[in-house]
């Protein structure tokens, strides 16, 4: 493979990587923006669910919070869909903020700071991928074999 082809191939590789991060970032950003249409409410952690996960060849139990919240006199119970704990947490009775859809109170979003950080990281990776694409493409065009 010539140097010119290698630069162009590398540029295309970074373009695809940047595109993947862009799509993933947009997906997560859409969910964050959806939260602005939802109503914030404090939910009480009432229990934990558990399931087995296999990570790097090791089985372990992951615990997720189960929360209850009240909307118009009706109590709803939801299992948090965010990360999880490797040890059973001692947080029953504590509150956490959730966002529910006013048209369907069973539709809940558990917003976390980690998602915001991931969105920023995705868009930064997309920008870096774009710069690498342009750099390698220009280098490939100017390259003389």
> Could you read off the pLDDT of 98-122 as tens digits, one per residue?
889 999 999 888 776 666 777 788 8
- The total domain count for the chain is 2
* 23 located within any domain: yes
* 80 located within any domain: yes
Mean pLDDT of the chain: 82
**Are residues 80 and 51 part of one domain?**
yes
pTM of the complete model: 0.58
Domain span at residue 117 reads 1-36+113-145
**Are residues 51 and 3 part of one domain?**
no
* 106 located within any domain: no
**Are residues 94 and 142 part of one domain?**
no
**Are residues 63 and 27 part of one domain?**
no
* 145 located within any domain: yes
**Are residues 43 and 32 part of one domain?**
no
**Are residues 4 and 16 part of one domain?**
yes
pLDDT band at 144 (very low <50, low <70, confident <90, very high): low
pLDDT in tens, 7-17: 778 888 888 88
* 108 located within any domain: no
* 107 located within any domain: no
Across the range 37-45, mean pLDDT stands at 90
Across the range 16-37, mean pLDDT stands at 80
Distances, alpha carbon 20 to alpha carbons 13, 122, 131, in Å: 11, 9, 15
Q: Is the pLDDT assigned to residue 69 strictly greater than 90?
A: yes
Q: How much is the pLDDT for 131?
A: 85
Q: Is the pLDDT assigned to residue 85 strictly greater than 70?
A: no
What's the rounded Cα separation, in Å, for the pair 30 and 74? Answer: 28
Helix extents (H) in the chain: 3-35, 113-142
Residue with the two structure tokens 């947490």: 89
> Between these two residues, 109 and 2, which has the higher pLDDT value?
109
């Amino acid at each position: 493979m010539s140097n010119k082809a290698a630069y162009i191939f590398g540029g295309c590789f970074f373009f695809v990587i940047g595109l993947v991060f862009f799509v993933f970032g947009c997906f997560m950003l859409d969910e964050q923006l959806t939260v602005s249409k939802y109503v914030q409410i404090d939910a009480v952690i009432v229990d934990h669910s558990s399931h087995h996960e296999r990570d790097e060849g090791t089985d372990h139990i992951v615990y997720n919070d189960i929360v209850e919240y009240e909307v118009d006199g009706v109590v709803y119970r939801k299992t948090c869909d965010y990360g999880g704990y490797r040890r059973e947490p001692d947080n029953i009775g504590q509150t956490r903020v959730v966002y529910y859809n006013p048209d369907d109170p069973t539709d809940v979003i558990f917003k976390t700071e980690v998602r915001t950080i991931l969105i920023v990281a995705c868009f930064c990776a997309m920008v870096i991928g774009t710069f690498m694409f342009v750099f390698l493409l220009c280098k490939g065009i100017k390259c003389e074999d």
